[in-house]
Each structure stands twice: as structure tokens, then as C-alpha cells.
Structure 1
Amino acid sequence: MHSSVREIPLSSEPDSSYFLRVDESGRGLAYGFQLLLSDGRHAWSGEASEAWVRQEAAELEMSTEKYVQDLREALTGEAGVHSYRFALAPAAPDGALTLTYDKVQKDISFRLGSTRLGPVTEPERIVGALLTRSLERATSLERHNRELREHNLRLRREHVRFGAELERYASGKEALEAELYARFLHVLNEKKAKMRGLRQTLEQLREAGSGEKRERAAEEAEGEAMAPPPPPPLPAVASSGGARSPGPCDDSLMDIADVAPSRKRRFRHRPGPLDAAVERAHASKSDSPAAASQQQPAASEEVEDLFEDL
């Protein structure tokens, strides 16, 4: 069971001080709670059930979660953005009181709830329990504050350590970036130098290739100039029945002198007796085949003489 103690001001008695103790049920404030109110001399106690909590939320047309949140802020004094007011009113002649708590929002207040509190027969015991609970709460809060201070000191030391490490990492990062940039420039310059060398080599190869092409073209032009002119094309042979154009063979034949007429004129006279005797003398002296071969032109001459006679 969670319990809390707080001092509440009463609107009807601004100079008085009342202490309110709230004991929640095991499952939370939404499932019911108990109230104990004391002014140091008297004490009153009351109880609210789960059904009462849900009924109050329904009457205010609020969700149960929202109503329980506002109720917790009002009764336990947890930090909130709204303010609350408390009032006590006599409920019965037996000394019972009614504790009402209102929510103030934008200068408008509406009743959040009310609980009937009956008088306690032994207020001294209740006051002692309130004091004990207050001391326990104070001790718990002090211990919690000490833990928070230690945690803050630890966080501060870690913050300082992290700041120093961050500065060291930042300086190392800057040094690493400078080194990487220097390496990048070195590699880039090497690549540029290599590209320039390759470009110069390519230009030299292109110039050498163009020079070889020019020399080859000049040699080809010189060879064409020194080469003899091609022979004229042979004339086409005329078809049968047509005139044949003269060719180089005809020109060469035309250059040869025709000796046939003179030979014919030579053998046009008839041989005399003297010539016949000379021929017989030559034939008797020579029995070689050359003599026989010399007789063949004579026979051919006689044939030509016969054709001449014709």
C-alpha cells in the first residue's frame, strides 16, 4: 500500500494547518483509497471505494484515467499545472466532517469530489502515526535527494570525462582528416602526372604516325611520278564483215619493204645457155644435201614464173 502525507490549506480557516494522509489500495488510487485528516489535536478518517471513484468520474463526464490523475494531484500534492482548494463542513452532530476538494482552472473552480470523515476515538495515536509517517517520508526524501546528488556528481564527472575525450577525438579527427587530405593530394598529383605522361606519349605516337603517313604518301607520289606511262589499250577486233582498224602489228608490217616485186622482176627473164651451164657445173661439183636444198628455191621461182605468166 502506497501512502503519502501533505499539508492542505483550508479556504474556510486560512490560519489553521491540517495534515492529510492518503493510503492507496494495493492496485492504485483508481481502486479506492483511505483518508486521515488531523489538526494536531483531533483526527478524522474516511474511505472511498472503486465504485465511488467511477461514479464521480461519470458525473463529471471525464474518463477514469483523467479523473484519477486530477485526484492524485489534489490529494497527494504531486506537481501539476492546476491548483486545488479544500474545505471542511460539518456533516452530522456526532462530529463527522465532509472534506471537499475543488479544481481551479482559469479562475473557474468545479468540485472534484468530497469524502465523509468520521472522528477518531484515539487522536493521539493518529497524530503519532502522522508524525512517524512524516519523519519516514522526510527520511525517504532526504535519502532520495542524496542519491540524486550523488548521481548528479557522477553525471558531472562523466560529462567532464566525455568532454575531454570528445576534444581528444576532435583533435585526432582533424589530424586524421589533414593526413588523409595530404595523401589524397599526393595520389591525385601522381595520377595527374601519369595522365600528362600518357597524353604526351599519345601525342608523340600520333605525330610519329602522321610523319610516317606523310613520308609514305611522298614516296608513293614520287614512285608514281617516276613510273612509265601505261601502254595504250589494244583496239578491239572488228567483227566479221566489218572494217578492221589498224594496229601496231599492222604498222610494223607496213614498215617492212616489199621485196616480192623485185624478186619477181628478177626472175621475169628466161635463163640463157650460160646460166644453165653454170648451174650444171655447180650441181656436178657438189653432191651434198645443200645442193638439193638450193634447188628448191629454183623450183619455187619456176612456180612463181608460172603464176607470173598467168
Structure 2
Amino acid sequence: FRLGSLKLQKVSSPAEVVKELIGYCLDCLGRLQAKTEHLQKENERLFNGWSDVEKRLEKCVKAKEELEADLYNRFILVLNEKKAKIRNLQKLLNEAKESAADAKCTRDSIATTQVAMGRENDYDGSTDEESENLTQASLPS
């Protein structure tokens, strides 16, 4: 396994090279720490935003459930009122049908009675010949 290769050269002042390496590492470390802090702040901001959204979502769910329950209660009231109105209208319709049937029976019986009375009146009445004879007899000759 070979990671890489490098060539080492002899340096006249190793302290200077070590100082530069340490300085480079410190700079890299500073940049990485700054980036880490920035990412931690961003992460915290996102987490807080997520918490706020979660709380709002819970409130919305609760409000939705309350609204849903209220709407169901109102719907039940309206539905019961409509059912009562339908029952009342059906009752009125049945009463109207019964009333119409009774009225028809009454009309039929009245018509039958009138026809029967008309026949009886015909028996009691005089004929045309009788009325002519009566009129002629009453006229002076």
C-alpha cells in the first residue's frame, strides 16, 4: 500500500522549516475551527428553525383537530335538522295524501247522494204532459 512519495532534501536551517510547517498547520487549524464554528452556528440555526416549524406544525395539527371536531358537531346538528325537516315533510305529505283520499271519498259520496236525490226528485216531479194539461185547463176557453 503506497500513499504517496516525497523527496527529502537537506535543509540548512531545520528550525525555519519546522517553524513554517507549524505556522501552516496553525493557519489550517484556524480556518478549520472557523469553518467548524460557522457550521455549528448554521446547524444550531437550522435546529432552532426546525424546532419552531415543529411547534407550529403541532399547533396547526391541534387547530385542525379542533376545527374538524367543531365542523363534525355542526354537521351533525345540520344533518339532524335536515332529517327532522324531511320527517316533517313526509308526515305532511302523508297527511295531504290522506286528506286528498278522504276528500275524494267525500266527493264521490256527495255525487252519489246527489244523483240519488236527483232520481228521487224525478219521481216526485211531474211530466211534461201533465204540465201541459194543467196549463191548458187553467186557460179560459
Normalised by the shorter chain, which TM-score bucket?
0.5 to 0.7
Distance 1:123 1:217 in 2: 137
* Higher helix content, 1 or 2: 2
1:228/1:147 Cα in 2 relative to 1: closer, same or farther (>3 Å)? same
Residue type at the aligned position of 1:86? L
Of 197, 220, 233, 2:88 maps to 197
**Does 2:76 correspond to 1:185?**
yes
Distance 1:222 1:189 in 2: 49
Identity, % of aligned positions: 31
What residue number does 1:86 align with? 3
**Does 2:53 correspond to 1:136?**
no
Q: Which has the higher contact order (CA 8 A, sep 6+)?
A: 1
Q: 1:217 offset after TM fit, Å?
A: 1.4
Q: 1:182 offset after TM fit, Å?
A: 1.0
Residue 119 of structure 2: SS of its match in structure 1?
coil
Of 54, 61, 65, 1:170 maps to 61
- Tell me the TM-score normalized by structure 2: 0.65
Q: 5 Å matches for 1:18-97?
A: 85-88=2-5
- Could you give the per-residue CA deviations for residues 199-221 of structure 1, whole angstroms, max 9, x where no partner exists? 11111111111111111112222
Q: 1:186 offset after TM fit, Å?
A: 1.2
Aligned length: 119
Distance 1:181 1:219 in 2: 56
Unaligned runs of 5+ residues in structure 2 are 121-141
- Tell me the TM-score normalized by structure 1: 0.33
Unaligned runs of 5+ residues in structure 1 are 1-10, 12-84, 89-98, 100-116, 230-310
- TM-align CA RMSD: 3.1
Q: 5 Å matches for 1:259-270?
A: none
Q: 1:139 offset after TM fit, Å?
A: 1.0
Residue 228 of structure 1: SS of its match in structure 2?
helix
